[in-house]
Chains A and B, each alone.
Chain A
């Protein structure tokens, strides 16, 4: 039995919006699970059902062997970090951290010890007497984390906690969250729509689309083996290139080139997916790209160009390679690293 089990969980809001469809998944003890997906796909709803902030329309949720469908949020022993932190504005940092402990009837000395430990861990010891309004965004973020950690709950829930921070702080906090989670070892679920955040944080990743889990797996599994066009397009940066094509008797025809011996019995219109980083320059390559734009990132160059009817085709090469706008490149796909999707439903067929 897993630590957290979701079984055919469905959420229909009172106004009829179906936000989550029959979702089932297991999260193991100590695991860092990330929900990732576009805006409005139901990530927050799923998280809030686990927290108990939304009723579960159908299905059931088990936490640590207990059915929690009807358990009050205050009795679930979960902690949540909100996007806007939701710190208690009238309490100083110390009391923000201590409040949950007080409600659980913990003795004053123990509270003080725990708060001080958590504050030290998060480097907010100096601010314990300040009100949240006197803290910077990053400090507030830490207090919000501290409030979750100090209670040593069964599970941490994060709802896009980094989206209010500037880019640099975001990367720093991302790292700290990961380190912290490894240190305290509490099972965590982290919601984000940023795929880089998702890839870097997750032990396992759930890619959600339209209230459904499209794919569940480790970040590398999902990157290497996306099951659908949606997942393939969502994970990976820059985005995978998609080309229209036709598959017939294991031969794929697309935008002026052919691939033979495709490992698929599918026949019909398909979409061919190639990641920008899975190609390299050769003399007589498969794909002929006329370069429109070069983005130099330093370590890498992103080359955008046209192949036959397809515009903005992206190719990634080392930053040392100098490529000029207007030049023509000949590219090969490395190690058959391409993906073929059924055009009608987006499912992977190779």
Chain B
């Protein structure tokens, strides 16, 4: 009886939470299907209007920026490239870093790991000027690499992979060695498949992280060609309903990624064999 009650009660709390989070999104979505004048005169709308197609096609074909060099579609492409790039690079680099830290005879590996971990306390925003000057020395300002590289080393992902590797019994490595696996083969044939779910989880994590970047893209790109969706949200001119439509559309890629990969995502975060 108590269990029934408490499970119902926790469901209730979850439902309240879901409502609190969903309602603003719904308000924006509903409002984005009306005309601008309705919003301006009557405020946010709770019910759907009839301007869905009109507003959304307008946004998709929108040409923004001072020089009209960027379209919404291009922004999505830029964001996608940036987010995927960040996700790929950071997953690969942290997989390998963790491999070296756990399996190679590195002196002071633990200390090194904690030094890497401390970088969490120094987010990009804090070191943005030195980072910029490095990028400009490397001639990477106004390029995709410039957008991607500085945020592609993830201490959190390294932590996750390192902790996971530490749970893998030594005998696995030893019997792989006796089976003729060299350093590279052990990584490819064992660690990568064994951490598959973790890789997917980290990929999603870093994808969303890269997608949500704002300050760094603004700083490192001066050309409108490199505008990302999140930058576009701020920069976009036009009527309020179009902005609303753009907000809703900007949410789609991360949500899509999570839906497609959620099966692995949940397994990866709560790793149970």
Partner of B175, one of A52, A76, A82: A82
B69 partner residues in chain A, CB cutoff 8 A: none
Chain A residues lying within 8 Å of B177, measured Cβ to Cβ, are 52-53, 72-74
Asked whether, in the complex, the Cβ of B175 is within 8 Å of the Cβ of A74, the reply is no
Task: Say which residue of B175, B185, B194 sits within 8 Å of A90 (CB atoms).
Answer: B194
The reply to whether A79 and B178 form a contact with Cβ atoms under 8 Å apart is: yes
Asked if B171 and A82 sit within 8 Å, CB to CB, the answer is yes
- Chain A residue contacts of B193, Cβ below 8 A: 90
> For residue B176, which residues in chain A have a CB less than 8 angstroms away from its CB?
88, 99
Shortest CB-to-CB span from A92 to chain B, Å, is: 12
Residue of A76, A79, A80 ringed by the most chain B CB atoms within 10 A: A80
B50 within 8 A of A: no
* Contact residues of B between 54 and 98, Cβ < 8 Å to A: none
Question: Which chain B residues (173-231) contact chain A, with CB distance < 8 Å?
Answer: 174-182, 185, 189-190, 193-194
Residues of A contacting B172 in the complex (Cβ-Cβ under 8 angstroms): 86, 88
Task: Name the contact of B181 in the complex, choosing from A80, A103, A147, A151 (C-beta under 8 A).
Answer: A103
- B contact face: mostly helix, strand, loop, or mixed: helix
Bound: A75/B180 CA distance, A: 7
Contact A74 B189 (CB under 8 A): no
CA distance A196 to B180 in the complex (A): 34
Number of interface residues of B (CB under 8 A): 18
Q: Is B17 part of the binding interface, using a Cβ–Cβ cutoff of 8 Å?
A: no
A74 to B194: give the CA distance in the assembly, Å: 21
Q: How far is the CA of A99 from the CA of B179 in the complex (A)?
A: 7
Nearest Cβ in chain A — how far from B185, in angstroms?
Answer: 7
A89, B194: Cα distance in complex, Å:
8
A contact residues around B181 at 8 Å (CB): 74, 99, 103
Q: How far does the alpha carbon of A80 sit from the alpha carbon of B180 in the complex, in Å?
A: 12
Chain A residues, CB < 8 A from B123 = none
A100 close to chain B: CB less than 8 A = yes
- Does A287 sit at the interface, judged by CB under 8 A? no
Q: Is the CB of B185 within 8 A of A86?
A: no
Bound-complex Cα distance A88 to B175 (A): 9
B238 is an interface residue with CB less than 8 A from chain A: no
Chain A positions within 8 Å of B180 at CB level? 74-75, 100, 103-104
Instruction: State how many angstroms separate the Cβ of A4 from the closest Cβ of chain B.
Output: 16
Interface string of A61-90 (1 = CB under 8 A from B): 000000000001111101110101010111
User: Known: A86-B172, A88-B172. Contact between A99 and B189, CB under 8 A?
Assistant: yes
Does A51 lie at the interface of the complex (its beta carbon under 8 Å from any beta carbon of B)?
Answer: yes
Residues of A185-206 whose CB lies within 8 A of B: none
Bound CA–CA A51/B171 (angstroms): 12
Is B130 located at the chain interface by the 8 A CB criterion? no
User: What A residues does B43 contact at CB under 8 A?
Assistant: none
A88 touches B174 (CB 8 A): no
**Residues of A with C-beta under 8 A to B185:** 103
The residue of chain B having its C-beta at the shortest distance from the C-beta of A48 within the complex is B174
A74/B169 contact (C-beta < 8 A), A53-B177, A82-B174, A86-B175 known: no
Contact A103 B179 (CB under 8 A): yes
Complex Cα distance A84/B169, Å? 10
CA distance A151 to B175 in the complex (A): 13
Instruction: Report the nearest A residue to B195, measured CB to CB.
Output: A90
Name B residues whose Cβ lies closer than 8 Å to a Cβ of A: 169, 171-172, 174-182, 185, 189-190, 193-194, 273
User: A residues bordering B, Cβ < 8 Å?
Assistant: 51-53, 72-76, 78-80, 82, 84, 86, 88-90, 99-100, 103-104, 133, 147, 151
Q: List 5 A-B contacts (CB under 8 A).
A: A74-B180, A74-B181, A82-B175, A84-B169, A100-B178
Q: What are the 8 tightest A-B residue pairs by CB atom distance, in nearest-first order?
A: A103-B180, A86-B171, A100-B179, A86-B175, A74-B180, A90-B193, A73-B177, A82-B171
